[in-house]
Amino acid sequence: MKLTQIYQPIEKELEAVESALGAAFSESEYPSILELGQFTVKSPGKRIRPTLVILSARVAARKRAEEIEFEQLVKVATAVELIHIASLVHDDVIDKANVRHNRPTINAKWRDDVSVIFGDYVYSKAIELIGKCSNPDLILCISEAIKVMSEGELIQVCQRGNVSLSEDSYLAMVKKKTALFFAACCRLGTIVANRNSKIQATLKEYGMNFGIAFQIIDDCRDIISEQIALGKHPGQDVMMRELTLPLINLLDTLEQPEKVRLANMLKSGSQHVDLERIRKAFLSSGAAYKTKEAALHYVECAKRHLTVLDDSDYKVSLNSLADYVIQEPVESAILPAEAKKNLSKRT
């Protein structure tokens, strides 16, 4: 299922989020900030995080959907997208990236110092929107999410070049830097819907498992996708000496001489990376299938947490969004024909 189909039940809300994003970047009196904002808002992001907020609110509200304050829901959904944008702006500086969404990054088009400060500015706009909701629970949820996400990013940077990183350590890092923010998006939606702690916990677990699967697949795509499909230079993780689950699995499957060669690449970084060699080794080994199976496990966990919710178009969209993570171009590259048949039976 395509994203446009998944998003269909919440088209009105997402259109309002787009308008709110534009407004957030058009309020300054300074031309330079307006230029940065206009450049940023035109980036073709998938808006998955605001979608999780909105779908969670709608599915949690059950038959009380009309009681949700529309403007508050849009503010919260816009705020999480602004936080995501800000984190990407900072990430591009840290990773020395110059392309994202097949466009120049802000640090490439302007400078690193401009990017860092603009990222801070975007964070402040997000906090401002949450503050306008006048709900302490929303403020606590979003502030905790930002803190944990920052911890995860810091841990990742500090672990660069560590070729002994375990799968457990990788997953713990992914939970902090990615999955807990997805979980927070779902919880924010339930807070807006004023639902009880049981529903909040259910959707939070959906978001957590969805987020882990999302990151695992994103890490796969960094190795196997071409630049046009990826929207940025492939192999960024390898060049920045970051050990991801695909690389951990690959190291486990290689014979000792090739394992040592890859470990040295990961220790050395961009000047010594042979991405095509890594891509071929990953796709020809059991590492690709093992990584995809791990992602599928978390997708299935996410979907299981939705079974307690009432049936609705919003629930269908949440299920389909989890499937979408697996259905992206990674599947055709990773899974052999027989494995695809097994996958389709299971999903």
Output the pLDDT for position 131. Answer: 94
Output the pLDDT for position 296. Answer: 95
Cα four-point dihedral sign 108, 109, 113, 117: negative
Number of Cβ atoms within 10 Å of the Cβ of 232: 19
Domain 9-346 -> CATH class? mainly alpha
Low-confidence ranges of the chain (pLDDT < 70): 63, 65-66, 227-228, 230-231, 269-272, 328-347
**For residue 322, what are its two tokens?**
């989890």
What are residue 232's phi and psi, to 5 degrees? -155, 175
Output the pLDDT for position 345. Answer: 44
Largest CA distance in the chain: 63
Rounded distance between C-alpha atoms, residue 83 and residue 109, angstroms: 21
Output the pLDDT for position 174. Answer: 96
**3 state SS for 226-265:** CHHHHCCCCCHHHHCCCCCHHHHHHHHHCCHHHHHHHHHH
Q: Indicate the domain borders of the chain.
A: 9-346
Output the pLDDT for position 332. Answer: 47
Paired strand residues for 99: 104
Rounded distance between C-alpha atoms, residue 14 and residue 57, angstroms: 13
Cα four-point dihedral sign 85, 86, 91, 92: positive
Output the pLDDT for position 277. Answer: 87
**For residue 218, what are its two tokens?**
């994103």
**Entry field: residues in the chain:** 347
Output the pLDDT for position 334. Answer: 53
